[in-house]
Amino acid sequence: MKLNKEEKRSLISLANEARRRAYAPYSNYRVGAALRTKSGRIYTGVNIESAAYPTTICAERVAVYKAVSEGELDFDVIAVVTENGGSPCGSCRQALAEFGLKTLVLLADGKENLVKEMTVADLLPEAFTPDKMKK
């Protein structure tokens, strides 16, 4: 998936705007995501923490699950914004891999600088994907 600079900038900006709605009173590590599907729709997500810590969910998975719950299974690109351009956790990598290893991942910092970009395949080598379930 090839994106021009403006498309990247705009997706990162949406992720950063969503990030303001992060519910992260325990870690104070606020994360925003914006996922664009092949149909052109954009689903945002934020991390949502819980006083029962393991109940917390990451921004990336919120965006993925919002899309899937609306019947959107084909993704082009996800932008993830954190203060320091941190990369997705293992669970989020797995959740993204379920829907395609080619999805582009843009990592940006709180100033909306694109820090790194890669595919889900880069993030999760030797991924366990739905085709591996076939007998």
Contact flag: residue 31 with ligand THU (CB under 6 A) = yes
100-132 burial, b at 16+ Cβ within 10 Å, e below that, comes to: bbebbbbbbbeeeeebeeebbbebbeeeebeee
Is-catalytic flag, 126?
no
CA 12 to chain centre: 11
The least distance separating ligand THU from the CB of residue 88, rounded to whole angstroms, comes to 4
Residue from 1, 27, 70, 73 in contact with ligand THU (CB under 6 A):
27
The least distance separating ligand THU from the CB of residue 4, rounded to whole angstroms, comes to 26
Residue from 12, 34, 58, 96 in contact with ligand THU (CB under 6 A):
58
Q: What is the DSSP letter of 124?
A: S
The least distance separating ligand THU from the CB of residue 49, rounded to whole angstroms, comes to 5
Could you tell me if 61 and 91 are in contact, meaning their C-beta atoms sit under 8 angstroms apart? yes
